[in-house]
Amino acid sequence: MRVVLAPTRFAGTLTAQEAAMAMARGWSVAAPHDDLVLAPMSDGGPGFLDVLGDALGGQTLAATIEDPTGRAVPAGVLLVDDDGTRTAYVEAAQACGPDLVGADHRDPAHTSSFGVGQLLLLALSTEPRRIVVGVAGSAVHDAGAGMLAALGAGERDVLGAGGLALQQATTGHLPGLTSVVHRFRAVELVLATSATLPLLGFQGASAVEAEGRGATREQAQALEAAFGQWVDVVTRVLPQPRDLLGGGARRIDKESGAGAAGGIGFALLLLGARRADGAQYVAQQIGLPALVAGADLVVTGEGTYDWRSLRDSAPSAVSELAMAAGVPAVALAGQVRVGRREAMTAGLSGAYAVCDRPEDVPGALADPVGTLEARAARVAATWSPSPEGTA
C-alpha cells in the first residue's frame, strides 16, 4: 500500500515533522512492505515556516523580535522565489504564540502583538510580491494594535500596551495608519488562518477565546468594550471599504477571521489582506491533493482530536482531501475526545488514541515518540496486513 502520513504538530510534545517520522517508524515495523510518504501539515500556527520550508525550500532570514511581554526572541521570515515571484512567509506564533509565555504568566489584557509587526517589516524589506501570514495560536489579545504600532501606525504607549489600553484610544493615536495601509497596497497580503471568528459580539474573539488565554470573565468583558472603542476609532480614521453587492460599508470587524489570534486577523484585514483557510492553504502549497489522490490510505493526527478538530483544522483539511479523492483516512492522536459517529462525519474511517485511558497520559507525555510509534504499529497491523505469502 501507498500510505500518506500527514499529521500536524502534537502541541507541547512533537512538531509535525517529528510526529510524521514517529508514525513512519512505527508503521514500518508492522508493515515494512508499505510505501510511506511523509507530508507534515500546519494550520498556520507554530511550525508553519518549518512545514513550508521543508516542502518549498527557500531562504530564511533570521531576526530578533519582541515576544508578547517585550522580551527579545529569535524569529525569521521564509522567502520563496518561484518564476520571479517572491513570497514572504510569516509565522505570527513566533512573536505571539502561547509557547512564549508560561501558562502561569499569561496576561491577555496587557501583552502585545508588536513582534508580529516587526516580522512584517522584515518581510516588506525584501520587496516581495506576496506576504502570507500564518495566524493560529496566540497569547495576545490586542486586536493587532501592537502590530500596527510596529508598522508605524502610531506610538506604542497605547497601541502596544495590550488590549485593555485600547479603551483609551483616540483618532490622535493613529497618525500613520493611512500611510501604513497605502504601503501594503503594492503587496498581495494573505491571512492564512483556520479561525472564522469575528472580532466582536457573542461569537467574537473576547467572548470565545479571552478566558482561554488567561483572562477573567470581567477582563473578557472589558476587552470586548475596549475592542469596540478601537473599532470605532479605526473606522473614523480609515473609512471602511464599500460592499460592492449591498452598497453599504463593509464591517471588517465582522468578517470571518477578524478575531483570529486575539484580533490580529482584524489588523491584517485592515491592511487589505484576504483570508485563506490556513490548513487548506498549506495543503495546496505542499502538493498534498496530488499525494492523497495517489494513495491507498491517508493518516493524519494531532495531540488531541476533539470537537475543534472536526472542522477548520489541519486534520479536517486532510480528511476532506481524502474524501474528495475516495481514499480512506484515519487519525492518530494523543487523545481522542469525539465518538466514532462524529469522526466518520468528518471523513475518517477511524480515530485511534495513543492514550486510551486518562492514566496513560503521563507515560505518553514522558515518551511521546515511543508511544506514538507503538500506536502507529498497531494501526498498521489493522490497516495493512502482510501481503499474501509473507509472514
Burial environment of residue 383 by CB neighbours within 10 A (0 to 12, 13 to 18, 19 or more): buried
Residue 175 falls within a domain, yes or no? yes
Residue 247 falls within a domain, yes or no? yes
Burial environment of residue 309 by CB neighbours within 10 A (0 to 12, 13 to 18, 19 or more): buried
CA distance 133 to 276: 10
Q: Which of 231, 246, 279 is the last residue of a domain?
A: 279
CA distance 242 to 289: 36
In a shared domain, residues 329 and 193: no
Residue 388 falls within a domain, yes or no? no
Residue 139 falls within a domain, yes or no? yes
In a shared domain, residues 150 and 220: yes
DSSP state of 286: T
What CATH number has the domain bearing residue 316? Answer: 3.40.50.10350
At 327, the amino acid letter reads V
- In the chain, the number of structural domains is 2
User: Can you give the pLDDT at residue 137?
Assistant: 84
C-alpha to C-alpha distances, 266 to 73, 135, 254, 326, nearest whole angstrom: 24, 11, 9, 37
In a shared domain, residues 311 and 205: no
pLDDT tens string, the chain, 391 residues long: the values are 999 999 999 988 999 999 999 999 999 999 999 999 999 999 999 999 999 999 999 999 999 999 999 999 999 999 999 888 999 999 999 999 988 987 777 788 899 999 999 999 999 999 999 999 999 989 999 999 999 999 999 999 999 999 999 999 999 999 999 999 999 999 999 999 999 999 999 999 999 999 888 888 999 999 999 999 999 999 999 987 776 666 667 789 999 999 999 999 999 999 999 999 999 999 999 999 999 999 999 999 999 999 888 888 999 999 999 999 999 999 999 999 999 999 999 999 999 999 877 777 888 888 999 999 999 999 999 999 777 645 4
Residue 316 falls within a domain, yes or no? yes
User: Can you give the pLDDT at residue 247?
Assistant: 61
Residue 258 falls within a domain, yes or no? yes
In a shared domain, residues 255 and 366: no
DSSP state of 350: E
Q: Which domain holds residue 7?
A: 2-41+297-383
What CATH number has the domain bearing residue 201? Answer: 3.90.1510.10
Residue 391 falls within a domain, yes or no? no
In a shared domain, residues 23 and 149: no
One-character DSSP codes across 116-163: HHHHHHHHHHT--SEEEEE----S--STTHHHHHHHTSS-HHHHTS-G
Q: Which of 245, 279, 313 is the last residue of a domain?
A: 279
Tell me the residue length of the chain.
391
In a shared domain, residues 269 and 365: no
Q: Give the closest residue to 90 by CA, choosing from 135, 137, 141, 147.
A: 135
In a shared domain, residues 96 and 233: yes
Cell digits for 40?
507534515
In a shared domain, residues 37 and 52: no
- Tell me the chain's radius of gyration from C-alpha atoms: 22
DSSP state of 204: S
In a shared domain, residues 54 and 35: no
Q: Which of 279, 311, 332 is the last residue of a domain?
A: 279
Is 166 in contact with 112 (CB distance < 8 Å)?
no
What residues contact residue 76 under an 8 Å CB cut-off, 6+ apart?
A: 49, 60, 61, 62, 63, 94
In a shared domain, residues 167 and 22: no
User: Can you give the pLDDT at residue 93?
Assistant: 96
User: Can you give the pLDDT at residue 388?
Assistant: 62
Question: What is the reported pTM?
Answer: 0.93
Residue 197 falls within a domain, yes or no? yes
CA distance 131 to 116: 13
DSSP state of 249: B
The residues with which 188 forms a beta bridge, in sequence order, are 130
Is 161 in contact with 112 (CB distance < 8 Å)?
yes
In a shared domain, residues 319 and 205: no
In a shared domain, residues 94 and 207: yes
CA distance 89 to 78: 5
User: Can you give the pLDDT at residue 106?
Assistant: 78
